[in-house]
Amino acid sequence: MAENTFYDKMVERNIGLVSREQQKKLKESCVAIFGLGGLGGVAAELLARSGIGALKISDIDVFEASNINRQIFAYVSTLGQSKVDVTERFLKDINPELKIRKFSVSTEESIDQMLNGANVAILCIDKALPSIHVARTCREKDIPMVETIAIPFVNLRVYTKETITYEKFHELPTTEKSMEELYALDEESVAKIRTQWLMTFSNIEGMERFFNEETLKRLKMGRFTTLGPLVWMNACLTAMEAIKIILNWGALSYPPDYALYDPFEYKIPGKTRR
């Protein structure tokens, strides 16, 4: 790889930790990112700066004031603007050669198009049914999927055809239902599924310090409690895990075990599962 193009100059500091052949592989790879909030937006920027050649990005929302505490592209100047449009603009300013395909809807067709040609998927959405849909489709297409959630402990998991499923990990009562049946559920049933998903981590050793009564009340209402530095730590590891998958590099975090880190005590908690 000749060191004279813009791309070569942009990724020059990678070389040494990443070989030129590995960098070429990153340039030829595509990552699908579902959700461009505090996790997905940061992961998208890090992958763009690392030299990933193509990104498919998806989000149905616009930026709001409550996003500013943690979302990398949330500014006063971007409030009310589509997350996919703003993210594309910033990423193109990082690497004009980056191939981007964006989706502002979440449908069976859009999920399928997002994953076609993707080497890795990153799941960073907080809606239960679309998350299940993405996870099932990744498994069908044999695409590794990295999932993280914005809790006080840094955490992530990589799902493949060989691991337990996303639904089994989160102990969701959905495994025997088709997506058509799930999408036909009433709002109360969907809310219960989402709450169960959110509570997956509530009994990890040490988590009780953060999941107090007020936090649990907020979670049951579907509202996250998040802090920017902790969200970004999750996002950084998520982007790194995607790079490791593409390069077949190092150990990965496979469920039912998974990467977990307590940034307050600087330790890995003794238990990662019930």
Query: Which residues, including other chains, have CB under 8 Å from residue 27's CB and lie 6 or more apart?
Result: 7, 51, 52, 53
Neighbours of 159 (CB within 10 A): 22
Integer angstrom CA distances of residue 129 from 43, 125, 161:
22, 10, 20
DSSP structure string for 77-117: GGTTSBHHHHHHHHHHHH-TT-EEEEE----HHHHHHHHTT
For residue 258, pLDDT beyond 60: yes
Alpha helices in 106-212 (DSSP H): 108-115, 128-141, 166-169, 179-183, 187-198
DSSP 62: B
Please write the tens of the pLDDT for every residue from 14-31.
Answer: 999 999 999 999 999 999
Query: Which helix (H) or strand (E) covers residue 214, if one does?
Result: helix 213-220
User: Which of the pair, 19 or 198, is modelled with greater confidence?
Assistant: 19
% the chain with pLDDT above 90? 73
- pLDDT score for 270: 56
Please write the tens of the pLDDT for every residue from 157-176.
Answer: 999 999 999 999 999 999 99
Look at the alpha carbons of 101, 87, 40, 190 in this order and tell me if their dihedral is positive or negative: negative
For residue 102, pLDDT beyond 80: yes
Structural domains of the chain in order of their starting residue, each with its CATH number: 20-261 (3.40.50.720)
Mean pLDDT over 181-202 rounds to 88
For residue 3, pLDDT beyond 70: no
Mean pLDDT over 48-59 rounds to 98
Mean pLDDT over 177-206 rounds to 87
% the chain with pLDDT above 70? 96
- pLDDT score for 163: 97
- pLDDT score for 231: 95
Look at the alpha carbons of 90, 2, 32, 122 in this order and tell me if their dihedral is positive or negative: negative
Look at the alpha carbons of 37, 43, 47, 50 in this order and tell me if their dihedral is positive or negative: positive
Query: Model pTM greater than 0.85?
Result: yes
* Paired strand residues for 101: 56
For residue 251, pLDDT beyond 60: yes
For residue 57, give the 3-state DSSP assignment: strand
Please write the tens of the pLDDT for every residue from 113-162.
Answer: 999 999 999 999 988 999 999 999 999 999 999 999 888 888 999 999 99
Beta strand 120-123 pairing with 54-58: unpaired
Out of 135-139, 195-199, 234-238, pick the least confident.
Answer: 195-199
**Closest-CA residue to 102 (of 47, 62, 57):** 57
